[in-house]
């Protein structure tokens, strides 16, 4: 992304509204899946340097779960849902309707459940955007990564670095939101990283 956040081509208020609607719908999809109400907290648009991404979630060595999808179609980009390791296990407990603490490791079944979370939130997010703008896009099957935060985020960094070489030192636009589940606030980070050109298309379609 080399777009200047102040670029005249893009109506940012409009864009923010579209993305927020997407986040809220993603939360709705997630709520339906786990049978608990999930709310969107502090959705924000951030312009950050790719280099600073690994520091965004504390130490890049922290254990985490990343659920990653590519978006393809009229618009394209990356979706990454990042959960601290222990929170990911709580979400599995919620999905399997078992008490917190039951899940103690993330094997095949647990990872597959988390992949479904990615499928669903990604699809709900894109559906909401399609409804508002008529722009259609679909998510790829999700990849679930259980690893250090830095290693997980390398996927975004390497992909962005390839898509747009100038982006590395420049700011990239990132839409970020946390979610809360029931009365528990969880630090699920839902990030949307649009490919170059995508924001112009979305903004134009939303007007």
State the residues that interact with other proteins by CB under 8 A: 50-51, 54, 59-61, 63, 68, 70, 140-155, 157-159, 161-162, 165, 168-169
- Please identify, using beta-carbon distances, which residue of 179 and 191 lies nearer to other proteins: 191
- Please identify, using beta-carbon distances, which residue of 23 and 68 lies nearer to other proteins: 68
Smallest gap from Cβ 94 to other proteins, in A, equals: 23
- Please identify, using beta-carbon distances, which residue of 40 and 160 lies nearer to other proteins: 160
Smallest gap from Cβ 53 to other proteins, in A, equals: 8
Contacts of 100 (CB under 8 A, 6+ apart): 90, 93
Residue 33 host element (H or E): helix 12-34
Smallest gap from Cβ 62 to other proteins, in A, equals: 8
- Please identify, using beta-carbon distances, which residue of 83 and 153 lies nearer to other proteins: 153
How many whole angstroms separate alpha carbon 120 and alpha carbon 21? 15
- Please tell me the total number of residues recorded for the chain in this structure: 207
Smallest gap from Cβ 159 to other proteins, in A, equals: 6
Q: Measured on CA atoms in the order 39, 42, 45, 46, is the torsion positive or negative?
A: negative
- Taking CA 200 as the corner, what is the angle to CA 166 and CA 189, rounded to the nearest 5 degrees? 75
């Amino acid at each position: 992304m080399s777009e200047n956040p102040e670029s005249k081509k893009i109506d940012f208020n409009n864009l923010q509204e579209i993305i927020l609607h997407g986040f809220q719908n993603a939360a709705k999809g997630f709520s339906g899946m786990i049978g608990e109400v999930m709310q969107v907290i502090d959705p924000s648009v951030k312009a950050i340097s790719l280099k600073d991404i690994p520091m965004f979630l504390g130490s890049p060595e922290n254990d985490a779960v990343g659920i990653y999808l590519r978006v393809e179609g009229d618009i394209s980009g990356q979706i990454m849902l990042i959960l601290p390791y222990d929170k990911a296990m709580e979400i599995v407990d919620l999905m399997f309707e078992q008490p917190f603490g039951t899940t103690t490791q993330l094997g095949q079944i647990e990872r597959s459940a988390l992949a479904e979370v990615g499928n669903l939130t990604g699809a709900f997010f894109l559906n909401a955007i399609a409804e508002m703008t008529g722009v259609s896009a679909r998510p790829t099957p999700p990849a679930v990564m259980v690893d250090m935060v830095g290693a997980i985020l390398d996927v975004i960094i390497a992909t962005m670095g390839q898509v747009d070489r100038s982006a590395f030192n420049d700011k990239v636009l990132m839409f970020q939101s946390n979610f809360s589940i029931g009365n528990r606030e969880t630090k699920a980070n839902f990030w949307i990283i649009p490919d170059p050109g995508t924001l112009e298309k979305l903004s134009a379609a939303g007007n």
